[in-house]
Structure 1
Amino acid sequence: MASAKRRFGAVRKLPSGRFQARYLDSDGVMKAAPNTFARKEEANRWLTMTEAALVRGDWIDPSRGRILLKDYAERWINERPKLRPRTIALYRQLLRSHIVPKLGGITIGDLTTARIRSWRTELMAGGVSALVVAKAYRLLRAVLNTAVKEDELIRKNPCRIPGADKEESAERPVLTMVQVFALAKLLPEQFQAMVLVTTFACLRWGEVTALTRADIDLKARTVRVVNAYGEVEGSGLELGPTKSRAGRRTVSIPEAIVPTIRKHLDDFVPADPAALVFTGVSKARPPLRRNNFAKLVGWRTATAAVGSPGLHFHDLRHTGNTLAAATGASTRDLMTRMGHDSARAALIYQHATARADKAIAEALDAAVRAMKDDDQDQDDDPEDDATGVPAPV
């Protein structure tokens, strides 16, 4: 008995013995399935699912996903003009070193969750840090999200691995105020104010190195953040706007650090309002470079001396954020001071402060309990008189 003719699409047997599924698209063009099938039933099932997707309106022609991931990812970066130079450099490095070698030659339509899971596992087994793997995964997910939502090249994003986007970074050190001032004094005089401004104004490296004399108002005790330096691979330093719109801000600084800043301006900064506040040591006063700063100022020796070996310069901002949160500032105020569009970072510091405050309360409670126990022991001492006062010896 002859099988019933399909009302949508057709299946034909190829000379190879495999089966091909074809259908007419909305433009009347005959389209073939992206792959052939070992059995006719499989080809018929593919046509049934394709028809259902067309009826729902979520069908995407598989041929649209026939673009190599490396080509699409490169185009993705190029079409995002608002990315900062340093971010572009990071994305290109992640693509070149961690994504393209294993996945770049695969079309985005052929990427599956299983394949991405294997790629991630290989990276971690190869010694790539969890932090870098998470960054690479988030970049890949962002690229494929655009392929799904904006370009409609694939139907769903295969980056669906729970927890793969999380950075399990080690907790960074936080200095005490005493350590901050001690660290500043251990550095060459030209860089002492830089430590204090970075910490107490909660600045990023690129922000503090881009400060000009005009950005410092000692009378009002404020630091204005407008621009930031970014290091771009192949281009060197580039001066541009802050990391985000929220990054443009004016931050108040404590009175206690004003004398140090004033002395720095008098001794090391030209009167020109456009002069950089913190620079290299040569007469040309070049902008500071992150990669040689530690050697220039004896950073490792100084941080070890204050009891915090391994401290990064960025940890000064981390310290400043923590100190600011400890004052009880609101989430909105912390966001403004830190230069964040999102409340996420501010909440992290507030939660950390809340945990520390709880630990202090528990320690005080333990001290009170110990005191009461001592009092109870004295009350039970047979050598004490009835008033609870120790008997004279």
Structure 2
Amino acid sequence: MAANRRRRFGNVRKLPSARWQARYLGPDGVMRTAPQTFATERQAEKWLTVIESEILRGEWVPPEAGEILLSDYGDRWIRERRLAPRTRQLYEYLFALHIGPHLGHLALAAIKPATIRTWRGKLLNGGTPEPQAVKAYCLLRAILNTAVREDEILRQNPCRIKGYDRYHTPERPTATIAQVYGLADAMPARFAALIIVAALSGLRWGELAALRRCDVDLDAATVRVPRKLAALKDRLEFGPPKSAAGVRVVALPAAAVEALHEHLADYVEDGPEALIFTGAKGAPLRSGNFGRAVKWTKTVASVGLAGFHFHDLRHTGNTLAAASGASTRELMHRMGHGTMRAALIYQHATSERDREIARAMDRRITGEGRRRP
């Protein structure tokens, strides 16, 4: 006959098989039985002691929770998360291509750091570009962070491997002012102002494509950025900028104001809601269609900018702003970033500005009658 023994936490009993069973009442009010039986009563009690300590430390998770498959949890995470449409499509793509086929069959609790290392190695050895592998890793880390911090399914996130969340990005080129104007002159006339404004404002492609007449104040020399245009798989969609910091008003140099003034008169319909930059038939801009229409690769090479991307115009504008003396906070505002990380990138590119400062110091020293050694 089975024997019972009461204890402070949980209970153990001897089964007819002569092995010992351990049971306990979890914090969620559910009675649970140990997944295995024990050869001795002492072993069963030790197991209960471990479970009790986990509960007291706040580290206990329902054992059955870890049996949830990553495929199910990841799909639900993407579906229920509040995401911009384009971000959602990117996450669906990354999960379907790089995560689900390799790890989707695993229970969350079965995913360990060693699992992550093996998975990443397979991706890279299979020809997945490193930037894609990093994006997939960061998505998986975000999903499992929710399992740890919000749903309390896991104790630790296995995606905690140093260096897996970054990759080396070669320095992107910047154009000189002469090259910017040379590129604008090489464009079909209706796109010349787009090049100049992109280089002198630092706006993103999607922000430029979404600009309307009501967003530009030529007298104040400013442009308001209240929205972006996102190209989804099956449609274009207007929406808020990339982040809250993306909603901003950017001051424009006189050269950009002049280009916009001519462009508005020649290519933009009347009415405050008229899009400023459109295709030849007046439709909203798509980056792919634009690239083909202007023969981008050939055109940038013709002005000495081989390999130059449209986004490099934003890089050019931000570098120019940094070299003109913009502070980190001012750069963050112009760029539409809420953190200093991106803005600090441009602080390194101010050697020319440093030389200008040195020359100004030299002029002041000379002006005050001090002779250079």
For residue 50 of structure 1, report the CA deviation from its aligned partner.
Answer: 2.2
Show the counterpart of 1:25: 26
CA drift at 1:200: 0.7
1:14 deviates by 11
Aligned length: 352
* CA-CA distance at 1:32 after TM superposition: 3.9
Corresponding letter in the other structure for 2:313: L
Q: 1:89 to 1:38 in 2, by over 3 A?
A: farther
Aligned to 2:73: 72
Q: Aligned-pair distance for 1:37? A: 8.7
Tell me the residue number matched to 1:200. Answer: 200
Instruction: Indicate the residue corresponding to 1:135 in structure 2.
Output: 135
- The CA deviation string for residues 360-386 of structure 1, in whole angstroms up to 9 with x for no partner, is 999xxxxxxxxxxxxxxxxxxxxxxxx
Could you report, residue by residue, the CA deviation over 1:126-158 in whole angstroms, capped at 9, with x for unpaired residues?
111111111111111111111111111111111
For 1:19 and 1:125, how far apart are their aligned partners in 2? 48
SS at match of 2:322: helix
Whether the 8 Å CA contact 1:148–1:154 is kept in 2: the answer is yes
By how many angstroms is 1:115 displaced?
Answer: 0.6
Counterpart contact for 2:21–2:38, Cα < 8 Å? no
Asked whether the 8 Å contact 1:14–1:20 carries over to 2, the reply is no
Residue pair 1:198, 1:204 contacting (<8 A) in 2 also: yes
Given the alignment of the two structures, is residue 245 of structure 1 paired with residue 239 of structure 2, yes or no? no
Structure with the greater alpha carbon radius of gyration: 1
Change (3 A) 1:200 1:49: same
Distance 1:14 1:168, change over 3 A: farther
Separation in 2, partners of 1:27, 1:275 = 58
CA contact (8 A) 2:27 2:55 kept: no
Q: In the alignment, which residue of structure 1 is the partner of 2:54?
A: 53
Corresponding position of 2:370: none
Q: Identical aligned pairs, as a percentage?
A: 50
Q: Distance in 2 between the 1:311 and 1:21 partners? A: 67
From the superposition, tell whether residues 53 and 276 of structure 1 become closer, same or farther in structure 2 (CA, over 3 Å).
same
Whole-Å Cα distance in 1 between the matches of residues 14 and 305 of structure 2?
72
Aligned to 1:63: 64
Residue 352 of structure 1: SS of its match in structure 2?
Answer: coil
Distance between the aligned counterparts of 2:271 and 2:27, measured in 1? Answer: 67
Q: Once superposed, what is the RMSD of the aligned Cα atoms?
A: 2.9
- 1:48, distance to aligned residue in structure 2 (A): 4.1
**Conserved? CA contact 1:276–1:287, under 8 Å:** yes
Looking at structure 2, the residues matched to 19 and 314 of structure 1 have their Cα atoms a distance apart, in angstroms, of 67
Find the aligned partners of 1:99 and 1:14 in 2 and give their Cα distance: 46
Q: Which residue of 2 aligns with 1:391?
A: none
Deviations 1:156-211 (A, max 9, x none): 11111111001322221111111111111111101010011111111111100001
TM-score, length-scaled by structure 2: 0.85
Unpaired runs of 5+ residues, structure 1, are 363-393
SS of the equivalent of 2:224 reads strand
Amino acid at match of 1:250: V
Q: CA deviation at 1:118?
A: 0.8
Given that 1:9 and 1:24 are in contact with CA atoms closer than 8 Å, whether structure 2 keeps it comes out as: no
Give per-residue Cα distances to partners, 1:54-87, cap 9 Å, x unaligned.
Answer: 2323211221222221221222222222x21111
Q: 1:338 aligns with which of 335, 338, 345?
A: 335
Residues 240-276 of structure 1: per-residue CA shift (max 9 Å, x gap): 1111121111111111233322221111111122111
Partners of 1:19 and 1:36 within 8 A in 2: no
Shift in Å at residue 21 of structure 1?
A: 6.2
Output the CA distance in 2 between the equivalents of 1:13 and 1:316: 75
Contact 1:229–1:240 under 8 Å retained in 2? yes
User: Is the CA contact 1:218–1:258 (under 8 Å) kept in the aligned structure 2?
Assistant: yes
Kept in 1, the 8 Å contact 2:113–2:159? The answer is yes
Q: CA deviation at 1:20?
A: 7.6
Q: 1:43 to 1:156 in 2, by over 3 A?
A: farther
- SS of equivalent to 1:157: coil
Distance 1:37 1:115, change over 3 A: farther
